[in-house]
Structure 1
Amino acid sequence: MSKVLVTGNAGFIGMHTFNRLVNEGLQVIGLDNINEYYDINLKYGRLKEQGFNPGEISYGNLLSSDTGNAFIKLNLEDKESILKLFSDQKFDYVVHLAAQAGVRYSLKSPDTYIESNIKGFLNVLEACRKFKVKHLIYASSSSVYGLNSKIPFKESHPTEHPVSLYAATKKADELMAHSYSYLYDLPVTGLRFFTVYGPWGRPDMALFKFTKNILEDSPIDVYNNGDMRRDFTYIDDIVTGIYHVIEKIPSGSSKQETDATDLASDQSTAPFALYNIGNSNPVKLMDFIRALEDSLGKKAKINFMPLQPGDVVSTYADVENLNQSIGYVPEVDVEKGITEFVKWYQKYYRV
C-alpha cells in the first residue's frame, strides 16, 4: 500500500484530499499546524471528519485513526521535526497543500508568507530530496498570472508580474520546485488552483462571507462594483484532479532547455510538470451572487466597492494540458456547487 503525506489536511482542500485518498485505499498521514489565521474550531471540525479526536492532538505526536491513517501537528518551518517525520514514515508520495493563504492578509502580515510559503516549502523540498519521494505534488495558484491580460490563462503565459506577496511566494515556489527537480532528479508537479469553493470552505473566501452576511441580514462587500469574473472550481473536481495527478509522474523531456520559454514548457529536461486546474468557465461575480440568493431564498444587501489592492479582475483557466495528461474534465457547475455549499453551511451552523 502506497503511503502519502498530505500537508495542510486541517485546511479546506487538504481535508477533502485526505478523505479521497483514504477512500481510494491509500495509507495517508496528514500534517497541519492548526494556526489561528481563521477559526480553529472549523479546522478541528475537519479533522473530526477525517476520524481524529482534536482533544488528543499534541505537537509532534503522531495520532492514529480507527482506519490506520494518522495525523501530526507540526510547523513546516520546524525542519528537524519535518526531516524526522520523513525518515520515520518513508513516504511514497507527498501532496503539499499547506500554505499561508489569502491575498489581502499578505498586505498585513508579509512575514507569515515568507516563513510558511517559502521557508516551509524549502523544508518539504529538502525532505523529499533526502528521502527520495517518488512524486511531490504541490499547490500553486492562479494568482501567479498577476497582470497577465491574455484570456484564458495558459501555463505558458508570463507570470513575472504578481500583484500580491501571496502570488509572489507561489511563483517562488514554482521556481524552487523546478530547481530541485532539475538538480536532484526529483519528480515534481505543481497545480495552479483557480478559486476553489465548496463544503468546509474557508471563512475568508467570498462564498462563505456572502452566505454568512446574507443569512444575518448584513451587507456584502462587492469589489470593483461587481465587474469581476472568477473561474469558480468545485472542490470535488479539484480533488479528482489531485488524485489522478499523483501517479502521473513526470519524467522530463529529451529536448534542450535552451529552447524553453517558460517554466510550464514541456521542454524542461527536469522531471517537472505544471498545470492549471480550474473549471474553465468563468462566471460573472453578480451571476454568482444571484445563484447564491436563489439557493438561500433571500436577497443580498450589496455594498459596492472599488477594486482592492492585490485583486485581479478576471481569472479563466485553460485546462487543456491537464486534460491531455490525466483526462481532467470538471463536472460541477456553479449552481450545483453553491447548493452543496449552502446545505453544508446550514447544517454545520444550524441555520
Structure 2
Amino acid sequence: MTVIVTGAAGFVGMHVAERLLQRGESVIGVDVFNAYYDPALKEARAERLAAFPAFRMERADIADEAAMRALVAESGAKRVVHLAAQAGVRYSIEHPFAYEHSNLKGHLSLLEACRHAKVDHLVYASSSSVYGDRPLEGAGFREDDPTVSPVSLYAATKRSCELLSQSYATLYGFPQSGLRFFTVYGPMGRPDMAYFSFTEKIMRGEPIEVYGNGEMARDFTYIDDIVDGILGVLDNPPSEGGHEVYNIGDSKPVGLMDMIQTLEKALGREAIKIMRPMQPGDVTATYANVSKLHKLTGYEPRVLLSEGLPRFVEWWRSWNGRNATGPQ
C-alpha cells in the first residue's frame, strides 16, 4: 500500500521514505524544495529516492489545500507521514509568517485532506521545543508535562499543530500520532543545525559561536534511531478517534561543550570558540523520557553521539569533496 511522506526531500523525510521503500512500500513524496538552506542538498536526497521504482516525488506546497486534498484522494494512500514544516527556532524571529504558512496552514491542509480521504493513520512531526525552557533534571520531559510556555514562535506553531490534530481526531475520528523530536542529527542532515555549521566553520579555520556560554545540553538523536521510532508508531495507530503524542529522542542529554569535543576529535581539528549568551528562543536543555514510545514499539536508541558524529563527518567530507586534512 502507498504511504505519503511530506517533506520527503528533507533530512528526516528522506530517511523515512527510504526505509519504507526498502521494506517494500510504495511512497509518494511531497516537497516544495524551498531555499531555507542549500537546495542542492534537497535535490541530492530526492535523487537518492528516485533510484527506487516505487517512489515518486510531487513538488508541491503543503499549504495548497486543494492540491493536498486532490493528492491524498487520488493516491488511495491510507497512511500519511507528515514531516514537512518550516524548521528553525532562530529563523522564526525574523520570518514569522513563513511558520504561519508552512506549519499552521500546511498542517491544517493535511488534516483536511486526510479526513476527506478517510486516512487510517496520520503521523506528524512535533518538537521538543513545546516543553519550553526547563532545567535538566529528573527522569526527563514527559508527554503529560505542561506545554503552555513556548519561548519561540516555532515552538508555538508546533504546539498549535498538536491541538489542531487533537480537535480533528475528536471531530472526525481518524487516528493521529504526533512525534516530539529531540535534536536529530546524522548524514545528509540540515546545514542550519549546530553540529553541521560547526563542522563547516572548524574546517575553514573560522571561529564558532558557542551560545549559552557552553552550558546548554541537548538530547542528540541519530537519524537511524529516529526512523525506527517513526515507523514503529506508523505501524501502531491509536484506536479510531485516538490522538497520541510521543517523545522520540536518545534520552541521554549531552552538554554542548562535550558535543564540540566529540566533533573536534572526529574532524581532527580544534575549534576556535567564542562564548556567547543564550539567544532569544533558545532553551537550556532537552531531555526525552521515551518510556511511552518504548511501551508501544520497543523503541531503544542504539547510536551514541561518539559513533554518530563520526558517521556524519565521513558523509560531510564526501559531500564537500574534502579529505582528512581539511578543505581543498
Instruction: Confirm or deny a common fold (TM above 0.5).
Output: yes
Q: Take 1:330 and 1:288, find their aligned partners in 2: how far apart are those partners?
A: 18
What amino acid is the match of 1:329? E
Deviation of 1:232 after TM superposition, in Å, equals 0.2
Query: 1:68 and 1:3 mapped to 2: Cα distance?
Result: 9
User: Residues 1-351 of structure 1: matches in 2 within 5 Å?
Assistant: 2-51=1-50, 67-149=53-135, 151=138, 152-251=140-239, 270-351=241-322
Structure 1 length normalisation: TM-score? Answer: 0.90
Amino acid in the other structure paired with 1:290: Q
Indicate if the aligned counterparts of 1:148 and 1:159 stay in contact, CA closer than 8 A: no
| Residue type at the aligned position of 1:211 | T
Distance 2:267 2:54 in 1: 39
Give the Cα–Cα distance (whole angstroms) in 1 for the partners of residues 145 and 134 of structure 2.
Answer: 7
Q: What SS does the aligned partner of 1:38 have?
A: coil
Structure 2 counterpart of 1:238, one-letter code: I
Question: CA offset at residue 285 of structure 1?
Answer: 0.7
For residue 121 of structure 1, what is the amino acid of its counterpart?
Answer: H
Letter in 1 for 2:265: D
Runs of 4+ that moved beyond 2 A: 147-151
The amino acid across from 1:286 in the alignment is: M
Q: Shift of residue 66 of structure 1?
A: 5.1
| RMSD between aligned residues | 1.0
User: Aligned partner of 1:227: which letter?
Assistant: E
- Asked if the contact 1:100–1:113 (Cα under 8 Å) also holds between the matched residues in 2, the reply is yes
Partner deviation per Cα, 1:284-306 (whole Å, 9 max, x = no partner): 11011000011111100001100
Instruction: Give the match's secondary structure for 1:286.
Output: helix
Partner SS, residue 50 of structure 1: helix
CA contact (8 A) 2:5 2:27 kept: yes
Aligned partners of 1:155 and 1:274 also within 8 Å? yes
Query: Residues 196-246 of structure 1, C-alpha deviation per residue, up to 9 Å, x if partnerless?
Result: 000011110001001000100000110011001100000000001111111
Shift of 1:147: 3.0
CA contact (8 A) 1:3 1:27 kept: yes
Amino acid at match of 1:303: I
Q: Could you report, residue by residue, the CA deviation over 1:19-64 in whole angstroms, capped at 9, with x for unpaired residues?
A: 000001111010000011111011101111112xxxxxxxxxxxxx
Equivalent AA in structure 2 for residue 239 of structure 1:
V
SS for the counterpart of 1:75 is coil
Q: Percent sequence identity over matched residues? A: 50
Q: Deviations over 1:252-300 (max 9, x none)?
A: 6xxxxxxxxxxxxxxxxx4111100000000011011000011111100
Q: How many residues align?
A: 320
In 1: Cα distance, 2:113 partner to 2:303 partner = 36
How far apart are the structure 1 equivalents of 2:33 and 2:14?
12
Superposition deviation, residue 76 in structure 1: 1.0
**Residue ranges of structure 1 left out of the alignment (5+ in a row):** 52-64, 253-269
Q: Report the Cα distance in structure 2 between the residues aligned to 1:68 and 1:235, rounded to whole angstroms.
A: 22
TM norm structure 2: 0.96
Partner AA of 1:221 in structure 2: E
Q: How many Å apart are 1:82 and its aligned residue?
A: 1.1
Q: Cα offset for 1:160?
A: 0.3
